[in-house]
Structure 1
């Protein structure tokens, strides 16, 4: 398996070209996509571990089964994206907009979701263990409930799906 060099900067157009040619491993890249060429792209199973992906809009992108461990998606729009079965452990998702996104069976352990927007997101089977949910907004999110299986989660001024707010800081252990 060939690995892309640390810190390689590539455009969204180049990423799509290489993905279409069969390449799937793009760890540690710095994505430069100001043209929105990734909108609606099918990038199932891609490896973007540790990558800086903040400059690209990810509207309606299919990232199901993707490896986004420790990736930086802070502040991007993932409106309508499919992240089902994706791995986002340790990802920076600060201020990321997941409106109408599919996060079913997504692993979000130790992810920083501070100020993330998850309006109407599908969260069936999503794992949030040790995640930071401070100021996150889950308004209308489907299948998100606090349960005994959640561990190490920080709630602080977190808006729940029904509109109630867990003021906190509340730590579920």
Structure 2
């Protein structure tokens, strides 16, 4: 399989232009442009596997059904972003702001959510097996509870939806 866009750095505007032209595969790209304007963009089903999208504003974007395996969103603002049905296996969401994000039915297996902010996020049906939730803030998050189906999750100073804190380290196996 050809790795379209492999390793190239592009602007947010170029990503939007190429997506609008029908391109969907952007693995391993880099967008580190704080000035890029992606707010409200429709990027459903896009493939950004392994991409570095540091610190770019991704507010209210539709990334539903996207392939985001091992994508690095460290420090990104994703307030109100729709990540429903997206695959974020192994993604780095460290320090990412996911306030009011829709994470329903997304796969977060092995994802690094250390220091992530998930205030009022919708986590209905999200798969978090193997996720790192150290210092994550789930205040007001919907459908986030510890249950018998969770495996391999690390809680450490994790703020739960009701405001309680799992001081930890606590590992659910």
TM-score range, shorter chain: over 0.9
Residue 34 of structure 1, CA deviation = 2.9
Report the equivalent of 1:9.
Answer: 9
**For structure 2, which runs of at least 5 residues remain unmatched after alignment?**
none
Task: Indicate if the aligned counterparts of 2:11 and 2:36 stay in contact, CA closer than 8 A.
Answer: no
Q: How much is the aligned-residue C-alpha RMSD, in angstroms?
A: 1.1
Stretch moving more, 33-42 or 23-32: 33-42
Asked whether 1:170 is paired with 2:164, we answer: no
Residue 107 of structure 1, CA deviation = 0.3
Q: Which secondary structure state, in structure 1, belongs to the residue aligned with residue 18 of structure 2?
A: helix
**For structure 1, which runs of at least 5 residues remain unmatched after alignment?**
none
Gap change, CA 1:165 and 1:77, over 3 Å in 2: same
Give the number of aligned pairs: 173
- Distance in 2 of aligned mates of 1:29 and 1:130: 26
1:12-44 alpha-carbon deviations (Å, 9 max, x no partner): 111000000000000000114332311110000
Task: Indicate if the aligned counterparts of 1:2 and 1:25 stay in contact, CA closer than 8 A.
Answer: no
- Distance in 2 of aligned mates of 1:157 and 1:34: 30
Runs of 4+ in 1 over 4 A off after TM superposition: none
Report the equivalent of 1:58.
Answer: 58
Report the equivalent of 2:122.
Answer: 122
Report the equivalent of 1:97.
Answer: 97
- Distance in 2 of aligned mates of 1:36 and 1:109: 29
Under a length normalisation based on structure 1, what TM-score does the superposition of the two structures give?
0.97
Task: Indicate if the aligned counterparts of 1:157 and 1:167 stay in contact, CA closer than 8 A.
Answer: yes
